[in-house]
């Protein structure tokens, strides 16, 4: 793929690839085009020049350029072999959302220094946030009213922060205000969290359940003791055992075929 021109023999460069793919799949008018800060002087300048020359009109409304993710003061680079992949992070026990939460803690205009220690701190923060939100969602009462005027105030505050040059850190502050606000019921909090997560994309509405370590030997021993207590009409002890199992997140099922159990 090459051709002659007044300036010599030419061939498609990577600038043209991006213009061609963007126009084909996103159309002739794009609202937001993202990239790294290193794309400003050459790559995106060339994209604009060739795309607008071909289209005859403005192509992109907003350009958003993110700073580098760095390791020990240096930019991650494929050419140097000094870079990380999401699959590598998953091998280390981190989820893609742990990494997303980590990235959202920094302003996009500021370089973000990566370390597994800082990523682990982000994972703990994300897990704590999800736990608080799961408690709220789990205790929603459909009979409680939702005051839309309260929601509009918080949605306005959240949008103000996002509109302030994508100030995600302050947007998280608004989210935490919602979680702590004693004047909001759980229905209202859940509605706001769902709305905020349309921007944050952190799966905040998915309830997290702590893994349960089940000691089947202990459970079966307690069930056997409970059956004996019921046979001897010691219903007080039978109820104590049921409550003890409930505290272990074990639900007892008494059927015609006998007594079984399941996780709550």
Q: Where are the beta strands (DSSP E) in 67-123?
A: 69-71, 74-75, 112-113
Domain annotation for the chain: domains and CATH numbers: 3-66 (no CATH), 74-200 (1.10.730.10), 216-263 (no CATH)
Residues 59, 50 contacting (CB under 8 angstroms) = no
Measured at the alpha carbon of residue 159, what is the angle toward residues 94 and 44, in degrees to the nearest 5?
A: 70
Which band of pLDDT confidence, cut at 50, 70 and 90, is reported for residue 260? confident
Q: Residue 233: pLDDT band by 50, 70, 90 thresholds? A: very high
SS3 8: strand
Q: What is the pLDDT of residues 124-144, one digit of tens each?
A: 999 999 999 999 998 898 889
Q: Which residues pair with 74 in a beta bridge?
A: 71
Tens of pLDDT, residue by residue over 190-227, are 999 999 999 999 999 998 766 557 788 899 999 999 99
pTM for this model (two decimals): 0.71
């Amino acid at each position: 793929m090459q051709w002659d021109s007044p300036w010599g023999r030419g061939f498609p460069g990577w600038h043209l690839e991006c213009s061609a793919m963007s126009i084909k799949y996103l159309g002739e008018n794009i609202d937001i085009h993202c990239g790294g800060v290193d794309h400003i002087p050459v790559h995106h300048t060339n994209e604009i020049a060739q795309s607008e020359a071909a289209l005859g009109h403005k192509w992109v409304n907003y350009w958003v350029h993110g700073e580098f993710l760095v390791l020990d003061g240096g930019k991650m680079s494929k050419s140097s072999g000094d870079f990380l992949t999401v699959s590598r992070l998953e091998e280390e026990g981190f989820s893609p959302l742990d990494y997303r939460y980590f990235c959202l803690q920094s302003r996009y205009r500021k370089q973000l220094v990566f370390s597994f220690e800082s990523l682990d701190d982000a994972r703990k923060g994300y897990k704590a946030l999800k736990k608080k939100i799961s408690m709220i969602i789990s205790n929603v009462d459909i009979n409680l009213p939702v005051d839309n005027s309260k929601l509009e105030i918080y949605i306005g505050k959240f949008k103000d922060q996002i509109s302030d040059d994508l100030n995600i850190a302050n947007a998280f502050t608004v989210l935490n205000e919602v979680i702590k606000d004693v004047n909001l019921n759980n229905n209202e909090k859940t509605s706001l969290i769902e709305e905020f997560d349309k921007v944050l994309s952190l799966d905040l509405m998915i309830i997290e359940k702590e893994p349960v370590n089940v000691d089947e030997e202990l459970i079966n021993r307690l069930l056997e003791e409970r059956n004996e207590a019921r046979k001897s009409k010691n219903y007080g002890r039978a109820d104590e055992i049921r409550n003890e199992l409930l505290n272990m997140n074990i639900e007892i099922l008494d059927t015609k075929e006998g007594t079984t159990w399941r996780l709550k």
